[in-house]
Every structure is written in C-alpha cells, then in structure tokens.
Structure 1
Amino acid sequence: MLVLLPPSESKAAPAKRGKPVEVAQLSFPELTDLRKQALEALIEVSAQPDALTRLGVGASLADEVARNLTLHTAPARPAHQVYTGVLYDALGWDSLSPAARRRGNNRVLVISALWGALRPGDRVPSYRLSMDGELPSLGPLARHWRSELPGVLAAAAGKRGVIVDCRSGPYAAAAPVTSFPSDVAARTVAVRVLRETNGKRSVVSHLAKHTRGEVTRYLLEQDTDPLTPAALRDLVGSRWPAELSEPARAGSSWTLDVVLHD
C-alpha cells in the first residue's frame, strides 16, 4: 500500500534550532536537481518587491514569504512536524501507535510543490509555495515536477498493493494517474468524500480533508495492507459507508466514495 497525501498550505512555526535541510539526503535522490531548481527559484522570487503577488498570497502571509529567503539555513524538522492543518490534525501522527508510525514512514508520501515527494521522516524547513502557482525560469510547478515525479511514485508503489490517492487537484496534476504505468494506474484509488443530506450528496472541502486524514490514520493502524481496490473498499467500509467505482476510462483511477450522513 502507498498513500499519497497533499501537503498543507499552513506549516508549523519555524524551529528555533537545528540543522538545515540537506537536499541530497532527502528520499528519492533522483529528484535532487529539480528540488534545487525549485528552491533557488523560490528564494529568487521571494526577494522581489512583488513577491506576494507572484506567489499568489495576501499581505497576512508576508512573514512566511520572507522566511523563504532563509531556506538554505533555516532549521529543518521531519515533514510530519512541518505540515499542519485539517488533514494532518485528523491523521494525528504523534498519537499513532509505534507500529502505525513505522508503517507510515514506509507507506505515506507527501507531494510537495518545493520538494516533489517526501516521506514523513524527511527533514525540511517550513516554506510558502503552492503547486498551483509558477516560478520564473521554471513556469508552472506541476509541469516542472511532471518530468520525474510520475516515475518516482510508480517505483515507490512497487509491484503489488493499492495506491490510495488523497491528493488535491493541483498536486495530482504534478503526477497524473494517466502518466503511471498501466499496472500501477490499475490499482490506484482516488479517495473522494461526500456529504449526504436528505438524499442529496455534495463535496465539502474542509470535511474532505479531515476525513482523508482519518482514513489514512485508520489504514496505518491496521495489521495488513489492502492488496486490491475491492479490499480497500471493504477495509474502509468497515469504518465508514464506502462505495467503489471503476475507472471511467483506460489509465484513470478507481474512485472510492466515503459517504458521510448528516
């Protein structure tokens, strides 16, 4: 099993001490060159007078953008401590059992606009950058990562087991399921969260993030991994109402709808 998560736009406050990131020591060294390019481009744009506009953020985030200038020297910490927000609060890494944390270190990948893909234990500093933006000299970030990231994720998925895709749209665009080898795409399941009220269903972003975090936690706390989309449906369905839909077209993912009733 491999679980793909988006990052959180919010990050933990920077650590006060510690060693800076060692880019070449992060998981998936084949991404090192792309990471260095993104890092330098982000530092460059963050120093510009119009940095907030270029990065698509408001004045309230000016301090976070300014901190991008210190990414080479800022203290780093494990990714599971850097990412905060609704999904990561629901995942509750620190309160997972020791066995679940070990499983998470091997089975969870966070897709990042700055780093490409991280394992939870990879040490990085807090930063401000979204995958739906672009950087001078690199262009759209999703396109920047698309040259290498699909192959990295496919290799991480291995030869068996499901890929549980909890990414949001911009992060999925950096490595679309249609770019995976056919055998990997055939066992990829996108998790969608629906709220049902009076027989009508709708997607609610905040609730979806929270539930994806809970689903990830639930999967990590199990003793065995689901090997097929149907097995994933049965496992998730033991906790929430869950419905599995086949791929809409060749090369696309399965869809697992987690249905929450009011």
Structure 2
Amino acid sequence: MLLSPAKSLRADVDRQAGTCPAFRDKTTELVKALQKLDSKQIADLMRISPPLAAMNQQRFADWHWEAHTGLGQPAALLFDGPVYQGLDYGSLRARERQFANRRLRILSGLYGILRPGDLIQPYRLEMGSRFRVNSQSKDLYQFWGSDLQNAISNDLPGRSAVILNLASREYARAARLPELQGERAPELQVIEPHFLDRSRKGEYKMMTAYAKRARGLMARFVVSHRIQNPTDLQRFDLEGYRLDPAAGTPASPVFKRDHPIKA
C-alpha cells in the first residue's frame, strides 16, 4: 500500500522505539541544501506564510540524524490530517502494526519512502516542490529518480504482487508506478480506488477531505483484516462506504457513500 504524507503534524506524540528511514544519505543531502535557504526563500518555495516559513527554517536548522534512532516519533503517529485520522495507527494492536510496517509505505518529499514505524522529525516539504537540490536535479522528482520505484519493487512479496495506491497523484508520480508495472507485467497489479460521497443534490462526487479520510480507512481495513487477496478489498465498508461494481473496474474500483453529506 502507498500513502501520501500529511502537511499537518501532531504536537503530542510520545517518543517511542521505531525503525530508521532507508535513504539516510539522500535525506541528509536534501536537508543540507534546505538549510541554506532563508525564511523568505522557504516561504516562496513552499508558498506558505512568513511565520510558517520561519518555523520550518528552524526545523531544518535543528535537524539531526540521531533523532531517527533509539526513541523518537514514528511517521504514522506524527502525521495528522484526514488520511492519518482514518488510519488511526495509534489504536492498532502490535501485530497489526507489524503487518503495516511490512505492507504500508508512505511517500515523502524529504525522506523518499517511509514505513509507518520509521522515526522522523517534524518537517514540511511537498514532493511537487520545484527545489533544485543539486546541479543534476531541477526538482524533487528528478532528485529521487528511480529510488522510490526500486524500493517499492524490492519490498514486493513476490513476482505476482499487488500495489494498492492510496497516494495522491503528486506523490504517486514519484513512485513511477507505470514504469514499475511495465517492468513486472503481467504479474504486478496496481489498484487505485476512488471514493465518492453523495452531495445535497443527490450526485456522487469526490469530496477531498472525505476521500482523504477514506484512503486512511481503507489502509486500516487492509491492516486490521490482513488482506492479501485484492478481491477482499470489495468488502471495504468502513463509515458507510460500499463498492459500486458498475461504476469502476477491478483496477479502479469505486466506493460510494449513500447517505447525503453537505457539499
């Protein structure tokens, strides 16, 4: 499974044991480049307010790799927002967390790719940021190159595998899923579900906040039921969603929620 990170972060995460992110050298190179920016440059790069820019400048200044070992803040607990509220990683049992750390990956502009239990520091850096890290890369997509694609490929349990893509387009692009699927066709299947809610006018449409939460809910559903057969995704029913077989395809299933929701 693939998820996007979150812009919003929790402030009350207890320090606990976790794992170390995979791309130490590239993350360090990226942070060193970001440390050269002043707060105005950060504000322009991230399109954020001066106070937020100053906070993130300080985060990069305080960044140190030792925070990623021993006791720290696991990514799936530090990230907040609808996706991670739906996932609710903190309420998972130990064996469910173990399953999540084997099967769930979070794509990240700063860290590249994360397991839910990887220890991270507070940061903000969207994958779509046009930040030139070095002379070989004009943006983060070029900087990460095929690294994320290769990491995902190495994590797949076998030649015949399924990727459940719950990430946004911005982040899924960095994973180069079409290229990965081409390399391993026809054994590799990529499933990208869609979540629609009924508006006050009775129309089904994608409502961003609800769809984000639904992605987290589906990740939780997979983890809590230890789903490995893609057909079992059809049973997803958390918070009122149901599969509409006629509205989608096996590779692009559509889940709808029938009760009216204010648009």
- State whether TM-score is above 0.5: yes
Cα distance in 1, alignment partners of residues 42 and 113 from structure 2 = 25
Q: What residue number does 2:34 align with?
A: 42
| Counterpart residue identity of residue 115, structure 1 | Y
TM-score, normalisation: structure 1: 0.81
Q: What residue number does 1:251 align with?
A: none
What number of residue pairs does the alignment pair up? 244
TM-score, normalisation: structure 2: 0.81
| Counterpart residue identity of residue 206, structure 2 | V
Cα distance in 2, alignment partners of residues 246 and 69 from structure 1 = 47
2:244·2:255 contact (CA, 8 Å) conserved in 1?
A: yes
Matched, 1:6 2:4: yes
Matched, 1:117 2:116: no
Cα distance in 2, alignment partners of residues 32 and 215 from structure 1 = 30
1:68 to 56, 60, 74: 60
Deviates more, 1:91-100 or 1:109-118: 91-100
1:207 to 207, 210, 219: 210
Matched, 1:258 2:255: yes
2:14·2:73 contact (CA, 8 Å) conserved in 1?
A: no
Identity of aligned residues (%): 23
* Secondary structure of 2:253's aligned partner: strand
Q: What residue number does 1:59 align with?
A: 50
Query: What residue ranges of structure 2 are gaps of 5+ in the alignment?
Result: none
Cα distance in 1, alignment partners of residues 252 and 143 from structure 2 = 27
1:112-169 C-alpha deviation (Å, 9 max, x unpaired): 0000101111111111111110223242212322321111112212214421111011
2:15·2:73 contact (CA, 8 Å) conserved in 1?
A: no
Cα distance in 2, alignment partners of residues 113 and 161 from structure 1 = 25
1:8-53 C-alpha deviation (Å, 9 max, x unpaired): 011233879899x9xxx7344xx343323222222222x3542211
Matched, 1:221 2:224: yes
Deviates more, 1:146-155 or 1:189-198: 189-198
Cα distance in 1, alignment partners of residues 48 and 41 from structure 2 = 11
| Counterpart residue identity of residue 109, structure 2 | A
| Two-structure CA RMSD over aligned residues (Å) | 2.9
1:153–1:48: structure 2 CA closer, same or farther, 3 Å change rule? same
1:177·1:185 contact (CA, 8 Å) conserved in 2?
A: no
1:194–1:11: structure 2 CA closer, same or farther, 3 Å change rule? same
Q: What residue number does 2:128 align with?
A: 132
